[in-house]
């Protein structure tokens, strides 16, 4: 049996036991199982596994739990998108040591850990999430992976005690932000009845990015043609620039309306960095090996 399967089976047994005895949901059972391993209350399974294999095993268990849950905020970025994001960050980090990454919508941490596992050198991770259960899962996963991380349990559109980072990466929450009074403090409040949360996340993220730093976001595919797109363009132009737009295969999403794109922004408020053309590219289906090789080569040439 593969290491991922072995690790998953151990965690699955612990979670199912909690669920079947009525002491909690399957997701809460994962939290309980990881907690017992980490505290030493129960012997952690001795399985030869890499950090990436452990991440994938925990991800499988969490996905199983999320399928049992009806909460809309309990969603996870697919591994296929995580791998594409990891490749882009790895290429643009360009071997830089001591990289600081922040995900303002960290959820269970799966996207952030996927990227961190593919970077060389020291990586400092930061995340923010309003859901306490998801924060517990992210924190425990980080401990299992022996990956130091600082997580803020708060509304991610409120101020942080965080120095600017090299890279911000996030699968942005899409929809309306419920706190209209706080939304009024943002430039991207817009003229809608409620502000778009994903627009506010972009504005907020620029504040916590170093000059010259980059922001990698999974966003709605129609981001730049939707209402308030003009205001978004204006904000980006004052904070820096749009560097790349990658259209993702529709097959990755349940329906066309749920389709996403991956964009790269760079912070450059002083407008001192060299200008270059925006990279526009279609990401092929991941099963198209030749197409993926050509896509990777196109990114490397652009870089």
* Rounded CA separation 210/168 (Å): 10
pLDDT of residue 234: 94
What is the pLDDT confidence band of residue 254, given thresholds at 50, 70 and 90?
A: confident
Asked if 124 contacts 104 with a C-beta cutoff of 8 angstroms, the reply is no
Annotate the chain with three-state secondary structure.
Answer: CCHHHHHHHHHHHHHHHHHHCCCCCHHHHHHHHHHHHHHCCCCCCCCCCCHHHHHHHHHHHHHHHHHHCCCCCCCCCCHHHHHHHHHHHHHHHCCCCCEEEEECCCCCCHHHHHHHHCCCCCEEEEEEECCHHHHHHHHHHHHHCCCCEEEEECCCCCCCCCCCEEEEEEECCCCECCCHHHHCCCHHHCCCCCCEHHHHHHHHHHHCEEEEEEEEEEEECCHHHCCCHHHHHHHHHHHEEEEEEEECCHHHCCCHHHCEEEEEEEECCCCCCCCCCCEEEECCCCCCHHHHHHHHHHHHHHC
What is the total residue count of the chain?
303
pLDDT 10s digits, 21-58: 888 899 999 998 899 888 877 777 777 888 899 999 99
pLDDT at 1 > cutoff 60? no
What is the pLDDT confidence band of residue 192, given thresholds at 50, 70 and 90?
A: confident
* Rounded (5°) CA angle 173-179-180: 115
Q: What is the pTM of this model?
A: 0.92
* Rounded CA separation 186/176 (Å): 14
pLDDT 10s digits, 259-273: 899 999 999 988 887
pLDDT of residue 95: 67
pLDDT of residue 107: 94
Closest CA to 278 of 248, 245, 247: 245
Give mean pLDDT, residues 5-29: 89
| Strands 240-247, 279-282: pairing kind | parallel
Question: What residue segments make up the domains of the chain, in order of their start?
Answer: 3-68, 79-302
What is the pLDDT confidence band of residue 71, given thresholds at 50, 70 and 90?
A: low
Place of tokens 């502000």: 195
pLDDT at 128 > cutoff 70? yes
pLDDT of residue 89: 93
| Strands 123-129, 99-103: pairing kind | parallel
Q: Which fold has domain 79-302?
A: Rossmann fold (3.40.50)
Q: What is the mean pLDDT of the chain?
A: 89
């Amino acid at each position: 049996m593969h290491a991922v399967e072995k690790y998953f089976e151990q965690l699955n047994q612990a979670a199912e036991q909690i669920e079947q005895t009525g002491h909690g949901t399957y997701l809460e059972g994962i939290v309980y199982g990881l907690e017992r391993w980490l505290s030493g209350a129960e012997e952690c399974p001795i399985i030869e596994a890499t950090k990436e294999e452990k991440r994938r095993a925990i991800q499988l268990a969490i996905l199983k739990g999320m399928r049992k849950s009806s909460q809309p905020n309990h969603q996870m970025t697919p591994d296929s998108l995580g791998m594409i994001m990891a490749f882009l960050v790895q290429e643009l980090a360009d071997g830089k040591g001591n990289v600081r990454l922040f995900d303002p919508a960290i959820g269970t941490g799966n996207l952030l850990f996927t990227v961190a596992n593919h970077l060389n050198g020291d990586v400092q991770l930061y995340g923010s999430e309003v859901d306490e259960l998801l924060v517990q899962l992210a924190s425990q996963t980080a401990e299992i992976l022996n990956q130091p991380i600082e997580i803020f349990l708060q509304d991610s559109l409120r101020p942080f005690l965080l120095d600017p980072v090299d890279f911000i990466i996030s699968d942005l929450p899409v929809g309306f932000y419920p706190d209209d009074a706080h939304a009024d403090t943002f430039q991207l409040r817009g003229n809608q009845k409620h502000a778009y949360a994903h627009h506010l996340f972009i504005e907020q993220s620029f504040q916590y990015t170093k000059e010259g730093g980059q922001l990698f976001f999974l966003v709605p595919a129609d981001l730049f043609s939707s209402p308030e797109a003009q205001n978004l363009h204006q904000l980006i132009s004052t904070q820096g620039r749009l560097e790349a737009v990658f259209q993702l295969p529709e097959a990755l999403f349940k329906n066309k309306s749920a389709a996403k794109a991956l964009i790269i922004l760079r912070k450059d408020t002083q407008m001192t960095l060299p200008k270059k053309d925006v990279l526009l590219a279609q990401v092929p289906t991941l099963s198209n090996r030749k197409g993926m090789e050509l896509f990777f080569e196109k990114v490397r040439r652009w870089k």
